[in-house]
Amino acid sequence: MDGFAGDYLDEHGQLAVTLFRQGDQLYQKNIHGEILELAAASLSMLFYPNGISLSRILVERDAQGRVTALTLRDDRHEERWERTKSVVRIQ
């Protein structure tokens, strides 16, 4: 789960979400400070176990297997969030 942790930017280069691990759980914090639990459906897909049932987060990896981007998909739209190289934290 540590491989998912990090800051992810939207298509405009603005911070979209931060993923972090707390114990054995993975969480997403958005720019509004809302925190949602994430779970892994597989190594290439995450989902929200407590709510948004139609939303899935597809995981993109580089040749070494490191997470490089996430793509949120639901029944209405798709958003791609690129992982930052530097640390940008949501306060």
Residues 30-43 have a mean pLDDT of 90
Number of domains the chain is built from: 1
Assigned domain for 1 exists: no
Residue 88: per-residue pLDDT: 52
Whole domain around residue 57: which residue ranges?
A: 6-83
Residues 13-42 have a mean pLDDT of 92
Residue 41: per-residue pLDDT: 87
Assigned domain for 89 exists: no
Residue 87: per-residue pLDDT: 54
Instruction: Look over the chain and give the mean of its residue pLDDT values, rounded to a whole number.
Output: 88
Assigned domain for 25 exists: yes
Assigned domain for 88 exists: no
Assigned domain for 90 exists: no
**By the 8 A CB rule, do 90 and 18 touch?**
yes
Residues 64-78 have a mean pLDDT of 90
Assigned domain for 39 exists: yes
- Domain of 63, CATH number, reads 2.40.128
Q: DSSP letter string over the chain?
A: -TTT-EEEE-TTS-EEEEEEEETTEEEEEETT--EEEEEEEETTEEE-TTS-TT-EEEEEE-TTS-EEEEEEE-SS-EEEEEEPSS-----
Assigned domain for 49 exists: yes
Residue 52: per-residue pLDDT: 64
**β-bridge partners, 80:** 71
Residue 90: per-residue pLDDT: 55
